[in-house]
Amino acid sequence: MLKKIRNILPPGLNSPVAILAFIRGEMKKIRFKILLRIFLLIQFSVIFGVYFWRDISAGYFRWDWVFLIYILCLPVGFLMSRIVPMRLDNETQAVIMSLDRVYLVLIWILVIAKLITGRIPSLVFVADICMAVILGIMTGRLGGIGNRVRRMKNTPVF
């Protein structure tokens, strides 16, 4: 089976890992990924906004704490945007980026922590902190990626 696939693929793909990477297309165009991140940020903002409204109305949390945590986590997101693997493709004139596993793991840990602590009445404030941290990191990282893409596109290629 592998020999049949190798006959179809370009030369130089000798290992199954290389074949899977070629078929999967390791890096994708940035416009789709940025739009996906904007959609996720809006979705998380709406969902978390409802939770914030409920918890603040109940007296568990305060809006100024939300904004303070959010503002403190923006720089963390900007710094995390620097580790996103990106490259400029001269043929298609597009910026291409791949998956950032550090960010993915961090967001999943925070979401799981929010889900667990949100179910325990004495730890609802921790769930609110997790939500503010997620929103701050997501916003900062999206802004940092946008700045990097703008710089890469404006850099003259020799």
Mean pLDDT by 10 residues, the chain (158 residues): 55 61 53 83 94 93 95 95 82 75 92 94 93 96 89 69
Question: Could you give the dihedral angle defined by the CA atoms of residues 30, 35, 39 and 40, in that order, rounded to the nearest 10 degrees?
Answer: 10
pLDDT at res. 100: 82
How many angstroms separate the CA atoms of 46 and 33, rounded?
20
The answer for residues whose C-beta is within 8 angstroms of residue 13's C-beta and 6 or more apart is 6, 19, 22
Closest CA to 114 of 105, 122, 123: 123
pLDDT at res. 155: 72
pLDDT at res. 63: 94
